[in-house]
Amino acid sequence: MEKALWYLLTATRGGENRVRIIRVLSERPQNANRLADELDVGYKTVRHHLDALESHGVVEAGGDKYGRLYFLTDQFERYRDTFEEIATQLD
């Protein structure tokens, strides 16, 4: 997970948006549409980042397709300190 976080947040474009998504999901689960509205980012952009985060085990989805909520995974929570370290460097 540590390597995945470094990759997702620093080695690819969109790291800043992924940090923002993780921060919002830290407060409460959201669906992609609400994330797009809250972050003032296009829906397709949010979906792209959620797909990347999901494929690396950072977020998981629950619910039906339209109302699918995204949650941070337990695995991510074990590496939250690494996330905070990376996010601080990006600020």
pLDDT value for 61 = 95
Query: Distances in Å between the alpha carbon of 7 and those of 3, 21, 56, 64, 79?
Result: 6, 16, 10, 29, 14
pLDDT value for 79 = 97
* Domain 1-90, CATH number (from 1.10.10.10, 1.20.120.1200, 1.10.1300.10, 3.30.390.10): 1.10.10.10
Q: What are 59's strand-pairing partners?
A: 72
Write the DSSP symbol of residue 14. Answer: T
Hey, which bits of the chain come out as E strands?
Answer: 59-62, 69-72
Overall average pLDDT of the 16-40 stretch:
96
User: Are the C-beta atoms of residues 25 and 71 closer than 8 Å to each other?
Assistant: yes
pLDDT value for 59 = 98
The residues spanned by each domain of the chain are: 1-90
pLDDT tens sequence across 37-90: 999 999 999 999 999 999 999 999 998 877 799 999 999 999 999 999 999 988
